[in-house]
Structures are given as C-alpha cells and as structure tokens.
Amino acid sequence: MSENKKTAVPNSISDETGQFDARFLLWRKFCSENNIPVETLPSDLNDEARAKWEKTKEEELQKRQAK
C-alpha cells in the first residue's frame, strides 16, 4: 500500500504573496463591501456571492489589462 504524502508548504510571506498582494486586497475589499468575513474562502461562498466575486475579479482583470 502506498501512502499519499503531502508536500510541506512553507509558512512565509514572499514579495509576491504578501499582505498587500493585489488579489488579497481585492478579496478584502469584496468581503468588506458584502459583509463577508475575510477568513472565508471563495469556495465557501454561496452561489450568489460566488457569482458576485467572479464578476468582481473579471472586472478587475479587465481594468489591469487595459493599463
């Protein structure tokens, strides 16, 4: 029997994924505007909130690509 071993993930903040990462800031803003705890994962959102999150992300991506 083979066991599935998970690779250890470092618990550190890199320059790319720091607390001011654009995705994190967008998530915090979305949570604040929609009265959702910031600790919530996008996969835990109900259907309505998930659709709103996807729309918000898409709009933000379009803004960034236009720059």
pLDDT average per 10 residues of sequence, the chain (67 residues) = 53 58 86 95 95 93 76
Please tell me whether residue 67 adopts helix, strand or coil conformation. coil
Full residue range of the structural domain in which residue 28 is found: 22-66
Q: Is residue 14 part of a domain?
A: no
Residue 38 lies in a domain: yes
Residue whose pair of structure tokens reads 């236009």 in the numeric block: 66
For position 23, what pLDDT does the model report? 81
Burial of 34 (0-12, 13-18, 19+ CB in 10 A): middle
Q: Is the pTM of this model over 0.75?
A: no
- Could you identify the residue written with the tokens 């979305």? 30
**What per-residue confidence (pLDDT) applies to 7?**
58
| Helix residue ranges per DSSP H, 1-67 | 22-33, 47-66
pLDDT on residue 13: 53
CA distance 17 to 7: 19
> Looking at the domain assignment, is residue 12 inside a domain?
no
The answer to whether residue 7 sits within a structural domain is no
Q: Number of folded domains in the chain?
A: 1
